[in-house]
């Protein structure tokens, strides 16, 4: 398998119909992460365009963004900043609400995690509507940081999230895409 190849990585992702709700095709990356070639290929693919981009911090979105983002930070030789669901971080936080299909949710970052002028690479496993990544972008910007780019393994282009994020001035990098939801 050519492990940097999108088709090779795509073949390692398991699709689970009707999880967690009827009508959703859940793209399960546990099978990709369990593969040594898959994990290395995905992590390298996420960071390669940004090797010389002058990143100060890698921020990862709970929970799969922690696994991939931690590995990316380690490989770049930079620190990792967690962005978590409301109420999970122990110190002072700033929060950002975002819309879900039904209702709203909030993600948070430690208030002192990112400082004025820090250059941040945002990592998550998948971008769908872009609501989560847009909220994370706002947290980074409100902290005074510059979001250099957002990097995802999977894009669901039919949901328009990557385009929406680009429209807000964020460089978006994705490794592979699936049609539909
Ligand atoms: P969104 O905010 O709509 O872009 O959703 C992105 C977040 O929800 C990511 O953290 C994903 O892990 C998760 N997610 C959304 N849709 C899916 C899907 N079809 N399969 C797996 N994870 C998903």
The whole-angstrom separation of Cα 99 and Cα 114 is 24
Atom of ligand 1 nearest to the CA of 159: 3
pLDDT of residue 21: 92
Q: How many CB atoms lie within 10 A of CB 168?
A: 14
The whole-angstrom separation of Cα 88 and Cα 91 is 9
- Quick one: tokens of 42? 């995905």
pLDDT of residue 173: 98
Domains and CATH numbers, the chain: 50-177 (3.40.50.2020)
pLDDT of residue 102: 80
pLDDT in tens, 120-171: 999 999 999 999 999 999 999 999 999 999 999 999 999 999 999 999 999 9
Identify the three-state secondary structure at position 69.
helix
The whole-angstrom separation of Cα 57 and Cα 54 is 9
pLDDT of residue 180: 87
Q: 64, 84, 108, 119: which one is catalytic?
A: 64
Q: Which helix (H) or strand (E) holds 25?
A: strand 25-28
Cα 81 to the chain's mean position, in Å? 12
The whole-angstrom separation of Cα 161 and Cα 177 is 12
pLDDT in tens, 34-88: 999 999 999 999 999 999 999 999 999 999 999 999 999 999 999 999 999 999 9
The whole-angstrom separation of Cα 80 and Cα 29 is 21
In the predicted structure, residue 2 carries a pLDDT above the cut 70: no
1 confidence band (pLDDT: 50, 70, 90) = very low
Probe residue for ligand 1, chosen from 23, 127, 132 as the CB with the greatest number of ligand atoms within 8 Å: 132
Alpha-helical segments (H) within 99-173: 131-142, 161-167
The whole-angstrom separation of Cα 153 and Cα 178 is 11
Probe residue for ligand 1, chosen from 10, 126, 161 as the CB with the greatest number of ligand atoms within 8 Å: 126
pLDDT of residue 31: 98
- Quick one: tokens of 180? 């539909």
Q: Any catalytic annotation for residue 171? A: no
Q: Which residues line ligand 1 (CB under 6 A)?
A: 24-27, 61, 64, 124-133, 161
The whole-angstrom separation of Cα 62 and Cα 19 is 18
- For ligand 1, the distance from its centroid to the CA atom of residue 126, given in whole angstroms, is 5
Per the CB < 8 A criterion, the answer to whether 123 and 68 are in contact is yes
The pTM (predicted TM-score) of the whole model is: 0.97
Q: Any catalytic annotation for residue 101? A: yes
Per the CB < 8 A criterion, the answer to whether 120 and 81 are in contact is yes
Residue 121 forms beta bridges with which residues?
58, 149
- For ligand 1, the distance from its centroid to the CA atom of residue 31, given in whole angstroms, is 16
- For ligand 1, the distance from its centroid to the CA atom of residue 47, given in whole angstroms, is 20
In the predicted structure, residue 4 carries a pLDDT above the cut 90: no
């Amino acid at each position: 398998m050519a492990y940097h190849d999108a088709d090779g990585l795509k073949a390692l992702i398991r699709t689970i119909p009707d999880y967690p709700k009827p009508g959703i095709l859940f793209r399960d990356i546990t099978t990709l992460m369990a593969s040594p070639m898959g994990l290395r290929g995905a992590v390298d693919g996420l960071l390669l365009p940004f090797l010389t981009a002058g990143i100060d911090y890698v921020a990862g979105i709970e929970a799969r963004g922690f696994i991939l983002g931690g590995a990316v930070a380690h490989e770049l030789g930079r620190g990792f900043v967690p962005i978590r669901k409301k109420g999970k971080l122990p110190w002072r936080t700033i929060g950002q609400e975002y819309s879900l299909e039904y209702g709203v949710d909030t993600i948070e970052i430690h208030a002192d995690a990112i400082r004025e002028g820090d250059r941040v690479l945002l990592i998550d496993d998948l971008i769908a509507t872009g609501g989560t990544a847009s909220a994370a972008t706002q947290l980074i910007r409100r902290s005074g940081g510059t979001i250099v780019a957002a990097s995802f393994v999977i894009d669901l282009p039919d949901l328009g999230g990557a385009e929406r994020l680009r429209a807000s001035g964020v460089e978006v990098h994705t490794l592979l895409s699936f049609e539909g939801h």
